[in-house]
């Protein structure tokens, strides 16, 4: 592996004649190195989470030797990992060589709320790394990486590899601790009395909405093996107002609801699949009902937006995409809905509301 070029040492004369820091523009290669180093940072943070280090430093600083004895690791190798993650603010190394918790490392604890431990671990799994290594294949063909690598689409892969499927579901549940409250706060559910969460995973979004709306009854709808994992999950405190149902959302959804909500579902699928789901919701919705799609809404221009990279994640794995407002409008119209408004939330996702056309 070639090393990055080393900067030259400036003389005192050079420093006096140099422009001020504010007027300096770093060379393009410096910015590019920073971007490319991102893959190293992700790998290190994922490893730190998988080893459970953030849990072990919650109550006080520990040395690499202490931590290595607790997890059964090589002390010198572990120190190198701790030092690297500390330089990006995930842990902090003190003068005594011990490592302490930081705000960034705290969200990698298993007992944190919110916790991104499962999400970080998922980004270090073999299937995830292999998928991104095949991005060029996806771009050239428009096809998905895991079909080529494992001979099956991603959700079938999760069914056949339950440990990976559980990690994915835990990651999605953990994300819902962040975006679920934002959705519940941004939308008024006062006139809705029955709500179906289509593809709702283990039910944290629905549980959050039901907790804040005592008049509301909900139905969690997902694949049978997913719903089976929801019975003792986030919905347990509100189960008297909730029904669990399973089936194929591309064919039908539980009928007779005032509203259907989907978070991070439409972005998983190409237009044809989405239209089938939206048509099923249109057939099932009560008169005057609503459709609520929670996803990124891509804005024009060159501003940074996480959704533009999440869009590539969708290309690589399930085959869907993040959409613009116009694309949502056209998608809704093809399934018998009219886009009525786009409601921003405190997180990058928006609520795209539809009404029967």
Q: Is residue 123 part of a domain?
A: no
Residues 62-115 have pLDDT tens digits of: 999 999 999 999 999 999 999 999 999 999 999 999 999 999 999 999 999 999
Residues 304-347 have pLDDT tens digits of: 999 999 999 999 999 999 999 999 999 999 999 999 999 999 99
Q: Is residue 18 part of a domain?
A: no
Active-site residue list: 267
Q: What are phi and psi of 77, to 5 degrees?
A: -65, -40
Q: Is residue 351 part of a domain?
A: yes
Domain boundary among 76, 105, 134: 105
Give yes or no: residues 219 and 335 share one domain.
Answer: yes
Q: Nearest-5° angle of CA 184, CA 291, CA 336?
A: 170
- pLDDT attached to residue 232: 84
Q: What pTM did the predictor assign?
A: 0.87
Q: Is residue 280 part of a domain?
A: yes
Residues 194-227 have pLDDT tens digits of: 999 999 999 999 999 999 999 999 999 999 988 9
Give yes or no: residues 101 and 210 share one domain.
Answer: no
114 prior amide bond cis, ω within 30: yes
Do residues 207 and 234 make contact, with C-beta atoms less than 8 angstroms apart? yes
Give yes or no: residues 332 and 209 share one domain.
Answer: yes
Give yes or no: residues 45 and 184 share one domain.
Answer: no
Q: Is residue 241 part of a domain?
A: yes
Count of domains for the chain: 2
Q: Distance of CA 139 to CAs 264, 312, 316, Å?
A: 22, 9, 9
With residue 289 as reference, give the H or E element that holds it.
strand 285-295
Domain boundaries, position 284? 173-356
Q: Is residue 118 part of a domain?
A: no
Q: Is residue 56 part of a domain?
A: yes
With residue 170 as reference, give the H or E element that holds it.
helix 162-186
In CATH, what number is assigned to the domain containing residue 93? Answer: 1.10.10.10
Q: Confidence band (pLDDT; 50, 70, 90) for 1?
A: low
């Amino acid at each position: 592996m070639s090393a990055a070029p080393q900067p030259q040492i400036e003389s005192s004369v050079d420093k006096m004649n140099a422009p001020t820091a504010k007027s300096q523009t770093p060379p393009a290669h410096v910015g590019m190195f920073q971007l490319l180093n991102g893959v190293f940072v992700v790998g290190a943070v994922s490893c730190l989470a998988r080893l459970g280090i953030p849990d072990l430093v919650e109550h006080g600083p520990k040395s690499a030797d202490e931590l290595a004895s607790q997890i059964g690791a090589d002390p010198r190798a572990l120190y190198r990992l701790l030092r690297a993650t500390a330089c990006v603010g995930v842990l902090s190394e003190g003068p005594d060589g011990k490592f302490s918790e930081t705000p960034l490392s705290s969200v990698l604890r298993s007992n944190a709320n919110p916790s991104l431990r499962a999400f970080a671990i998922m980004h270090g799994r073999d299937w995830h790394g292999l998928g991104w290594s095949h991005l060029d294949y996806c771009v050239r063909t428009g096809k998905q990486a895991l079909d080529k690598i494992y001979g099956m689409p991603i959700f079938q892969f999760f069914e056949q590899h339950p440990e990976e499927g559980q990690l994915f579901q835990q990651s999605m549940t953990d994300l819902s601790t962040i975006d679920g409250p934002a959705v519940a706060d941004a939308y008024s559910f006062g006139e809705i009395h029955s709500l179906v969460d289509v593809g709702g995973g283990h039910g944290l979004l629905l549980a959050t909405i039901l907790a804040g709306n005592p008049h509301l009854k909900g139905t969690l709808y997902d694949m049978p093996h997913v719903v089976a994992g929801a019975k003792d999950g986030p919905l347990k405190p509100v189960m008297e107002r909730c029904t669990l149902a399973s089936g194929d959302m591309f064919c039908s959804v539980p009928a007779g609801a005032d509203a259907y909500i989907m978070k991070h579902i439409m972005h998983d699928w190409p237009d044809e699949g989405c239209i089938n789901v939206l048509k099923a919701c249109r057939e099932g919705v009560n008169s005057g009902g609503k459709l609520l799609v929670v996803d990124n809404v891509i804005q024009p221009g060159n501003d940074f937006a996480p959704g533009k990279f999440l869009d590539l994640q969708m290309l690589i794995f399930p085959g869907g995409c993040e959409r613009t407002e116009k694309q949502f409008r056209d998608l809704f119209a093809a399934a018998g809905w009219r886009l009525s408004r786009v409601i921003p939330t405190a997180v990058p996702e928006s609520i795209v509301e539809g009404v029967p056309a």
